Amino acid sequence: MTEPLRNLDIEELVRLDTAHHLHPFTDYKALAAEGGSRIITRAEGVYLYDGHNNKIIDGMAGLWCVNVGYGRDDLAELAMQQMKVLPYYNTFFKTATAPSIELAAKVASKLPANFNHVFFANSGSEANDTQLRMVHHYWQCAGQPEKRFVISRENAYHGSTVAGASLGGMGPMHKQGGKLIPTIHHVMQPYWYKLGGDMTPEEFGLAAAKSLEDKILELGPENVGAFIGEPIQGAGGVIIPPSTYWPEINRICKKYDILLICDEVICGFGRTGNWFGLETFGIEPDLITMAKGLSSGYLPIAATGVSDRVANTIIENGGEFYHGYTYSGHPVACAVALRNIEIMEEEKLVENTRDVAGPHLAKRLAELADHPLVGEVRSVGLIGAIELVKDKKTRERFDPLGKVGTMCRDHFFKRNAIMRACGDTMVLSPPLVITPAEIDALIDVAKECIDATAKDIGVM
């Protein structure tokens, strides 16, 4: 394994980090009080190593992104070659580069047949900003500029930019001034375990979808341009919708002529056992957001997939689309993303997720379902969740929500394993290269951590 580039003085790094570095989604005061950050220095396969040389199993693939695993020399070498040949050129003003063109064609070949165009960005948030701009541009070109409202779901996550945070349905983000775009509205999320009450999952799926129809009728279909949703809400707590939900959403969007945006930032590139979550759930979108697994996180890159309906309208209408980023189609990021997709093909990582690793994870997760603290386990492919609850029968949660989840997360930390807590829902999304033996190791640790949490709160 490659060693870090310089000799690291870990204590000094922790000191400098606290002194100078404001991290994303962090309570700075609390982080400093807890002794600062854990410094990750290198990685290989599904394992990270910290500054004290602890080997940590990464059950989250970084932030749901390192699908091909860490330590891929060919991606590093390709990046170096591309940097030598052409480190940068833009794709504005009638120019393009070979990697950006080849990647656009490759991504289009993976998308549904009615998708032939992509627009590049650098992050999922930016790609969702592009979606909003694209929706408005499309409806202007289509002669219906009044279709400006966009509908999303509560507890959705679509990024951290102004558009991303506004499209998302995260209460704490909105409280910090995040819901800044007044044309964005939110409807019920398809979270059966929390909201389903006495309904069957199938009944609840239809009820959650109906909240979209009700909102469209309230706003007036002539004013609604798009609906956005993640196939599975990731950051919201790996919320897997009932089977009835997405077909009904397809129907409603078609009925009222509303563009359907599928945010595949987490589900895309194999996570659910298909190339895209839309295949797993039968979603029929007009626009698709991609990031994370597109390059397995080796370099920042994202893309908006644009269906023929939208692309042909804006192309035929003519006129400039006044939108783009300096690094849209960055040649090094595109070259790496292209090779990343080829690796996924060569190593059959999607098939492996669907046929081997995913079923193994589901089987091992099911063993946790009897635990007194566990209300539900669920997974699709290599994305899963464990709900920690106060009362298994009534599905009553702990109060305040998040305290028990954080305790459990800290037990993972102590045992050199990473699972994330979304409230009291423990979520996992390991690299797609994870082996059954590594899944066993992860679930064995999970069981220990849930036991330890149960002891902490006096349940066991």
Which positions lie near ligand PMP, rule CB under 6 A?
A: 63, 123-125, 128, 157-159, 164, 230, 234-235, 263, 265-266, 291
Task: Give the per-residue SS3 of 79-101.
Answer: HHHHHHHCCCCCCCCCCCCHHHH
The angle, 0 to 180 degrees and rounded to 10, between the axes of the packed helices 358-366 and 436-456 is 30
Enter the DSSP assignment of 159: -
Nearer to ligand PMP, 49 or 298 (CB): 298
Q: Give Rg (Cα) of the chain.
A: 22
Token digits of residue 11: 């204590």
Provide the 10 A C-beta neighbour count for residue 379. Answer: 24
Give yes or no for a cis peptide into 400 (omega within 30° of 0): yes
Instruction: For residue 376, list its beta bridge partners.
Output: 387
The answer to whether residues 288 and 266 touch, using CB atoms and an 8 Å cutoff, is no
Q: Please name which of 450, 389, 388, 369 lies closest in space to residue 415, comparing C-alpha atoms.
A: 450
Start-end of H helices in 65-187: 73-85, 98-110, 124-141, 162-167, 171-173
Collapsing DSSP to helix, strand or coil, 255 comes out as helix
Which residue is it, tokens 């650098």? Answer: 122
Token digits of residue 154: 């509560």
Q: Strand order of the sheet with strand 302-307?
A: 115-121, 302-307, 287-290, 259-263, 224-229, 149-153, 184-187
The answer to whether residues 227 and 259 touch, using CB atoms and an 8 Å cutoff, is yes
Q: How far apart are CA 305 and CA 342, in angstroms?
A: 19
Token digits of residue 191: 């979270």
Minimum CB distance to ligand PMP, residue 233 (Å): 8
80: left (phi over 0), alpha (psi -120 to 50) or beta: alpha
Collapsing DSSP to helix, strand or coil, 239 comes out as strand
Minimum CB distance to ligand PMP, residue 302 (Å): 6
The answer to whether residues 420 and 446 touch, using CB atoms and an 8 Å cutoff, is no
Nearer to ligand PMP, 112 or 231 (CB): 231
Collapsing DSSP to helix, strand or coil, 318 comes out as coil
The answer to whether residues 372 and 287 touch, using CB atoms and an 8 Å cutoff, is no
CA distances from residue 289 to 222, 266, 384 in whole angstroms, order as listed: 24, 10, 21
Backbone angles phi, psi at 295, to 5 degrees: -120, 10
Residues constituting the chain: 460
